[in-house]
Structure 1
């Protein structure tokens, strides 16, 4: 049996991870969630399984053939079979729900954008009436900026509702949310590993919603400016609290400084950290090496 099974679906994103594992001589199985599995078969694929399923997989698999819910059941099955699952099914369940993410963050006493959660298009206007414009309507399950639309007035929103052109989410849940003007147009993405600070980026999106810093998320010819930073201690401590509360093995926490009042508003947790593009240029070191250190430690703990 190999030491590690990696469940993934994107054909390109994890080449740096596989290369880092190869350099260290770690035996692993790279597995996609396609095909079938037997719920009565309690054989684990490896002592340690690593979940690398992206929420944006629905953009590649479509609304009906994406692997998100299938993978959640498979990871839970592997855990029942005795595998130690890194970023396991409980983490995936929160990763796959922006509503649950915001609830968790708010429960820690941290600020979030004012948000209303609905499951019917008929409730969107009433939810919006409790907020101020501009606002956004976003899919509960999104990725790479998908499923987010900004509205500047109730009339504009009602017209889109009447035309049946609201964003849709593969789980049927929508968020109606205050549009936060980010100070300097910046989002801060704080990456954590084993629930501790790993690194952070100042990401300048210029009002765009796709702020993924990985190579595969960047539109050719439209690079996203990003700079390695050390955030204020309070932001680092908050990100570590979020990771601890979620039991997040590896992932990013995103926060914006609200330009209206200077309040940091945490708005997203991303359990799929495929890390920054060109890490040696941006960070001066490769976070995949730290991730492999962590995976090796977890493997040794299971022996």
Structure 2
């Protein structure tokens, strides 16, 4: 891990989610190197190479048999930060990526509303948490997750118990299940707010009528549908739609939250209830983009991201020369 010329280093664990960024970096002539951190060896006595290090490790890595990628990446980030390297989405971002509890506490500290949530370890405690929540309908989700993993809607304690004590039960990888207030939107959609360089780039409206699998990446597929909504439209429509002329007042609050937590690249998912209250419920720091929606809107986030990384590398060069 030594290099004489500074580069952009992309820390990741999933090749399909980085291919579009590689294409854009090559288009711009940006020198780069991919570090696949599913496993590896790190000599802590040596200094890292010079460059800009962009981490896009996913909380769902264990679903691709990359169970310890976040833990190894945490070690790599500690090493990079110890040596003062420029790190995009460093250790604080990773901490929020792999724990929704950490996300919600940080969002709340920034004054951003989140759905009421209880965290529980152990099946009996999950049931008790649902009782304490005291709502007719509620959602369960995994604390460390991605791609909608573990997200299910229940309308009774009995239905939850039937699931928890059945062979179909999917245990969270970190042992922590969240029991959360179900926010019913007036129309079945959520808004994902994309930020690059800590600044708002665009928002994408995501149709949730088919369930909670909301990954916009081209590589994602919807293999399992959770809780389909009755009365779905007969004509198919785009699941992802980039909104134009969209800049609500709370965007400034989201940007301040990202700055306070040293997160440069993120997607913040939010939902509005029928009373007009906005709830943020997910911060994704390995954000992906949907190429079909971008082609329609002519907004290209991977290009913007590549340009941002190129600018960071260019700013580094005079200092390190």
Same fold (TM over 0.5): yes
Which of residues 4, 7, 11 is equivalent to 1:7? Answer: 11
1:48–1:232 distance in 2 versus 1, CA, 3 Å: closer
Q: Which has the higher contact order (CA 8 A, sep 6+)?
A: 2
Once superposed, which parts of structure 1, at least 4 consecutive aligned residues long, lie more than 6 Å away?
A: none
After superposition, residues 36-115 of structure 1 pair within 5 angstroms as: 36-61=40-65, 65-115=67-117
* 1:139 equivalenced with 2:153 (yes/no): no
2-side partners of 1:80 and 1:68: how far apart? 18
The Cα shift of 1:60 comes to 0.5
User: Quick check: 1:61–1:67 contact (8 Å CA) kept in 2?
Assistant: no
1:29–1:185 distance in 2 versus 1, CA, 3 Å: same
* 1:198 equivalenced with 2:194 (yes/no): no
User: Quick check: 1:44–1:82 contact (8 Å CA) kept in 2?
Assistant: no
* 1:292 equivalenced with 2:306 (yes/no): yes
> Which has the larger displacement, 223-232 or 235-244?
223-232
1:118–1:190 distance in 2 versus 1, CA, 3 Å: same
Corresponding residue for 2:162? Answer: 159
Instruction: Classify the secondary structure of the residue corresponding to 1:130.
Output: helix
TM-score (norm 2): 0.86
* Structure 2 portions without partners, runs of 5+: 224-235
The Cα shift of 1:155 comes to 1.4
1-side partners of 2:39 and 2:108: how far apart? 39
* Structure 1 portions without partners, runs of 5+: none
TM-score (norm 1): 0.91
1:185–1:60 distance in 2 versus 1, CA, 3 Å: same
* 1:248 equivalenced with 2:263 (yes/no): yes
2-side partners of 1:207 and 1:104: how far apart? 30
Query: Deviation string for 1:18-53 (max 9, x for gaps)?
Result: 111111111111111144323433321442111121
Q: CA RMSD in A?
A: 2.1
1-side partners of 2:55 and 2:309: how far apart? 12
Which of residues 120, 127, 130 is equivalent to 2:129? Answer: 127
1:179–1:207 distance in 2 versus 1, CA, 3 Å: farther
> Which has the larger displacement, 204-213 or 135-144?
204-213
> Which has the larger displacement, 277-286 or 140-149?
277-286
Instruction: Classify the secondary structure of the residue corresponding to 1:113.
Output: coil
